[in-house]
Amino acid sequence: MSDSNRSSSRAPAGGLSLTEEQKRQLVRSTRRFDLRRILGGLFLLYGIIVTIVGLVNTSADVHQTGGIAINIWTGIAMIVLGILFFVWDRLYPVPEEDILKNLEREDEEKAVGEGHELG
Amino acid sequence: MLIAAADNSIRLNLSWIDYVMIVVYFAVVIGIGFIARTRVRTSMDFFLSGRSLPAWITGLAFVSANLGATEILGMAANGAQIGMSTLHYYLIGAVPAMVFLGLVMMPFYYASKVRSVPEFMLRRFGKAPHIVNAIAFAVSNILIAGINLYAMAIVIEAMLGWPEWVAIVVSAGFVLVYITLGGLSSAIYNEVMQFFVIIAGLIPLTIVGLNRVGGWGGLVDSLEHTESAQKLSTWAGTAIGHVTNPIGADWLAIVLGLGFVLSFGYWTTNFTEVQRAFSAKNMSAARRTPLIGAFPKLFIPFIVVIPGLIGAAVLGNQLSGTAGAGKLTYNDVIPKLIQMYLPTGVLGVAVTGLVASFMAGMAANVSSFNTVFTYDIWQRYIKPRMSDEHYLRVGRWVTIIGVLVGIATAFIAAGAANIMTYLQTLFSFFNAPLFGVFILGLIWKRMTSAGALWSYLAGIAAPTVVWISYLVNPSLFNTGTAETMYGAIISFATVLVVGVVISLFTRPKPDSELAGLVYGVGKIDLKSDAVVGDQAWYRSPALLGTIALILCVVLYLPFL
């Protein structure tokens, strides 16, 4: 794709004119990889691994830590945190306009990147 | 009784489960790089995440970019060596500086639309000080990245048994891949992830450690028996003229040197930090970035310094200040406690967190270096007026070159570790004078370009002279830390004097060019880009800043 052609042929109003379907697609794909989902997934996975290790090796853990089943406690805490990340993502998704605004500002951003604002 | 592992090695015994967790983490890191790649269309996307990130992400990245190898191992080492006095670095140092950045300086930075801290220098003072600032930042940052890389390789070698060169090449390779792909967004997302993982590793370590020494009471008892009880106090022995505290400086030097000059200098002018706030989506989010970062920062000492104290109590006379054959150093405290106390499972979490934090520290250096090199040096002085695509391409190439130079520095550091330590001390002189220049320039519109240039240079030279005198005659200061505090104060004072004198003899910029860059000249609109929800009371910068400052006082109270 030749970027220079693309930006010069665009209407001066700026921004890509997307169809409603493309916009929905973009919002969906951005939200799919929200950082909170990645964090939630990672902590859920770690939490499950750590909890299972804790359940299998309880006596060894307790011996090393002086009485605390640290893997079980940490594992449960990580699972809870992981779920909280998913809940947070669910309740407060990234606003649509934030996602689209970023795309619409592409020309403006390029001007800033080229240093025009600073003269 | 408590010395379960009397040997002096910090080699960890990882099982395959722990390795699975490390591998999963780094697979996610690379995955984030590819996701971030799809959103990089302009150079601003690459260098400043398109100024689009929400405050919670930039805020956690702000604190996490500083949570690298030197910070975690170094502050735990301080905890073992000087005890609770280490709290000064957080409560008189970092947090007030972050509040100051959010409330006072960020409006100037963000409203002026500068893309880097050197660019603010350019807007306010013109080209001469800008060139000095940009080159000093770029060179020092890439060398620091290399020195950090080497520091990491030593620890990874000791913990995991990887040869140093493997550790250097592998971790630099990861940083290279994910920064070249996704730029600052990659760096920031990984910083946020690393933040949570390292916390998830350090909290169990602190809990188990406290349990093994018999709780807080047991820790206090054992410190009183084996070490000086002064490790539990912060302000005792800091009277002027009667200094007996382990830092070796009186309260005025701690407040002015460590607090005001060193910490304010680091947190408000170091672009590696401030860049995170520049990537926020609007003024409100940019101001909240350091304020949100301040809250975790308030509590990090309790999972870093307390393990240090536990190390002092448990390992006591095994620890020494200098490395020697088969000896533990203060820097080994955290890895040693991990080895002693954490069973497979949480062990994997803690090791992942440590390795990730090492890598994130280097990535932060690289992602700020490529921005300053591309915008402030390449675009400004070498190839201006090119297309945005050109600068995006340059940014990617500079990232690759930067990482390669970092690797080379790491190998040089391996051969000349002492010189590298000196170099790092030298670079620490760059922030204090920059802060002096900015503060003077912000409050005094009469300050001129020549005043900025020469006071900045004098402010770098002055602490260098103090430091060399200290190397020649170590009786000048009680400790090396005390030297840096006095050095910083001298640097700041030099900037003020030289800056004022030279400005009075040179011609200032007209007011029309200073709007929004100097306090009281022009107006900064803090609300023009506000979005729904910014007005919520719990998002008020003034409120967040006040609460953070109150907590600074409150957290000192148990350890006066």
Residue B1 lies in a domain: no
Model pLDDT, residue B560: 80
pLDDT band for position B326 (cuts 50, 70, 90):
low
Inform me whether the C-beta atom of residue B450 falls under 8 Å from chain A C-beta atoms.
no
Once rounded to an integer, what is the mean pLDDT over residues A76-87?
A: 97
Asked if pLDDT for residue B82 goes beyond 80, the answer is yes
Tokens, residue B42 = 């302009």
Residue B126 lies in a domain: yes
Residue A64 lies in a domain: yes
Model pLDDT, residue B481: 81
Among A3-12, A56-65, B411-420, the range scoring the smallest mean pLDDT is: A3-12
Distance (Å) from the alpha carbon of A64 to chain B's nearest alpha carbon: 6
DSSP string over B430-499 = THHHHHHHHHHHHH-TT--HHHHHHHHHHHHHHHHHHHHHHHH-GGGSSSHHHHHHHHHHHHHHHHHHHH
Tokens, residue B227 = 């070490």
Residue A71 lies in a domain: yes
Contact call for B388 and A114, based on CB within 8 A: yes
Once rounded to an integer, what is the mean pLDDT over residues B91-95?
A: 92
The total number of structural domains in chain A stands at 1
Contact call for B200 and A105, based on CB within 8 A: no
CA angle centred on B275, ends B269 and B279, rounded to 5°: 145
Query: Dihedrals φ, ψ of B319, to 5°?
Result: -85, 145
DSSP string over B327-342 = -EEGGGHHHHHHHHH-
Report the sign of the C-alpha dihedral through residues B542, B543, B544, B547, in that order: positive
Model pLDDT, residue B526: 84
**pLDDT by residue (tens digit) across B104-153?**
999 999 999 999 999 999 999 999 999 999 999 999 898 888 888 888 88
Inform me whether the C-beta atom of residue B136 falls under 8 Å from chain A C-beta atoms.
no
Is the distance from CB of B357 to CB of B184 less than 8 angstroms?
Answer: no
In angstroms, the CA B319 to CA B208 distance is 20
Model pLDDT, residue B1: 35
B:279-318 residues touching chain A, CB 8 A cutoff: 281
Pairing label, strands B319-320, B328-329: parallel
Report the sign of the C-alpha dihedral through residues B121, B127, B133, B139, in that order: positive
Residue A53 lies in a domain: yes
Model pLDDT, residue B168: 92
Residue A109 lies in a domain: no
Asked if pLDDT for residue B20 goes beyond 60, the answer is yes
The total number of structural domains in chain B stands at 1
Inform me whether the C-beta atom of residue A35 falls under 8 Å from chain B C-beta atoms.
yes
pLDDT band for position B43 (cuts 50, 70, 90):
very high
Residue A46 lies in a domain: yes
Asked if pLDDT for residue B325 goes beyond 80, the answer is no
**pLDDT by residue (tens digit) across B245-272?**
777 788 888 888 888 888 899 999 999 9
**pLDDT by residue (tens digit) across A23-69?**
888 888 888 889 999 999 999 999 999 999 999 988 888 888 888 99
Asked if pLDDT for residue B287 goes beyond 80, the answer is yes
Once rounded to an integer, what is the mean pLDDT over residues B491-510?
A: 94
In angstroms, the CA B365 to CA B398 distance is 13
Residue of A nearest to B47 (CA): A113
In angstroms, the CA B144 to CA A23 distance is 43
Residue B413 lies in a domain: yes
Contact call for B346 and A66, based on CB within 8 A: no
CA atoms within 13 A on the CB side of B372: 32
Asked if pLDDT for residue A11 goes beyond 80, the answer is no
For B159, the domain range is 16-559
Q: Closest Cα to residue B348, out of B7, B14, B41, B5?
A: B14
Average pLDDT, chain B: 89
ipTM (interface predicted TM):
0.90
Among A11-15, B340-344, B521-525, the range scoring the smallest mean pLDDT is: A11-15
Q: Which residues of chain B lie closer than 8 angstroms to A66, CB-CB?
A: 208, 211-212
In angstroms, the CA B179 to CA B38 distance is 13
CATH number at residue B192: 1.20.1730.10
Residue A58 lies in a domain: yes
Report the sign of the C-alpha dihedral through residues B104, B106, B111, B112, in that order: positive
Model pLDDT, residue B393: 95
Once rounded to an integer, what is the mean pLDDT over residues B72-97?
A: 90
Distance (Å) from the alpha carbon of B319 to chain A's nearest alpha carbon: 22
Contact call for B21 and A46, based on CB within 8 A: yes
Tokens, residue B308 = 């240090």
Residue of A nearest to B27 (CA): A42
In angstroms, the CA B72 to CA B63 distance is 12
Inform me whether the C-beta atom of residue A46 falls under 8 Å from chain B C-beta atoms.
yes
Residue A113 lies in a domain: no
Q: Which residues contact B387 (CB under 8 A, 6 or more apart)?
A: A3, A4, A110, A114
Q: Which residues contact B232 (CB under 8 A, 6 or more apart)?
A: B83, B84, B220, B223, B309, B559
Model pLDDT, residue A94: 85
**pLDDT by residue (tens digit) across B209-224?**
999 998 888 888 888 8
Model pLDDT, residue B127: 92
Of B357 and A78, the structure prediction assigns the larger pLDDT to A78
Asked if pLDDT for residue B404 goes beyond 80, the answer is yes
pLDDT band for position A117 (cuts 50, 70, 90):
low
Is the distance from CB of B496 to CB of B436 less than 8 angstroms?
Answer: yes
Q: Which residues of chain A lie closer than 8 angstroms to B44, CB-CB?
A: 109-110, 112-113
Q: Closest Cα to residue B125, out of B386, B460, B461, B454?
A: B454
Query: Hey, what's the torsion of the CAs at B354, B359, B363, B364, to 10 degrees?
Result: 20
Asked if pLDDT for residue B155 goes beyond 70, the answer is yes
Residue A9 lies in a domain: no
SS3 B240: coil
pLDDT band for position B439 (cuts 50, 70, 90):
very high
Q: What percent of chain B has pLDDT over 70?
A: 96
Residue B10 lies in a domain: no
Residue B529 lies in a domain: yes
Once rounded to an integer, what is the mean pLDDT over residues B334-341?
A: 92
Model pLDDT, residue B331: 85
Model pLDDT, residue B229: 59
Contact call for A70 and B113, based on CB within 8 A: no
Among A82-91, B182-191, B279-288, B524-533, the range scoring the smallest mean pLDDT is: B524-533
